[in-house]
A and B are shown apart, each in its own frame.
Chain A
């Protein structure tokens, strides 16, 4: 199974400042079709997860453009250009290149300083 490793696990950020979360996979996420199937999910306190990014860098409908994804191979990053209060929660990366099983990172808890 592909192991997904996120860092940091805790991320205190000042409002209006940028934030960055790293996700590394134990093997390349490049699929035989040439795409890399790496997604990012946000889970606000008390809510269900919501997908923000798919195929490394594609934003889902309704996701603010302050969220962006990048990376390739085994190294991926979620960036938030200017953190807002509503961004508080836990962020997960997940791979869907080598499934089953789908595998998630441990989660990164973003909080406001």
Chain B
């Protein structure tokens, strides 16, 4: 069964950094583009970032551009999100999701909570 499992969330001070991971299983990870989507407490869904299969193309929401970096390691079936200069409004559950463009977000993980607070 295809599955995505996020990890790495936690409590961090404003201005701090955190690295999220997403481990894939049950499908050929290297053949699928991947994404991060977040959801602030009680709010809707917000796309954060996307990366293609070969890590050539990366895209970011304006709200995180210059602060977050998406990457992947196909040998480890893993997707990452390096988050720097964190702000209070980055507080959210972060989901990884598979596939993009016309087949966007076909599969989701369970999410990992990031809380930015002093």
Contact = CB atoms under 8 A, between A and B. Distances in A.
Nearest to A107: B44
B47 A104 contact: yes
A103 B110 contact: no
B44 A102 contact: no
Contact of A49 (B59, B61, B108): B108
B88 interface: no
Contacts of A48: 95, 108-111
Given A100-B50, A100-B59, A92 B101 contact: no
Contacts of A103: 47
A39 B104 contact: yes
B56 interface: no
B47 A100 contact: yes
A106 to B, nearest CB: 6
Interface residues of A, number: 24
Interface stretch (A12-20, A50-58, A71-79, A81-89): A50-58
Contact of A54 (B35, B46, B106): B106
Interface of A: 31, 35, 37, 39, 41, 48-51, 54-55, 60, 92, 94, 96, 99-107
B44 A92 contact: yes
A37 B106 contact: no
Given A49-B45, A50-B108, A101-B47, 18 more contacts: A37-B102, A39-B105, A49-B37, A49-B105, A51-B108, A54-B102, A54-B103, A54-B104, A55-B102, A60-B106, A92-B44, A94-B45, A96-B101, A100-B50, A101-B61, A102-B35, A104-B45, A104-B46
Contacts of B111: 48
Given A49-B45, A104-B47, A96 B61 contact: no
Contacts of A51: 105-108
Interface string B74-118: 000000000000000000000100001111111111110000000
Contact of B45 (A54, A92, A99): A92
A99 B47 CA distance: 10
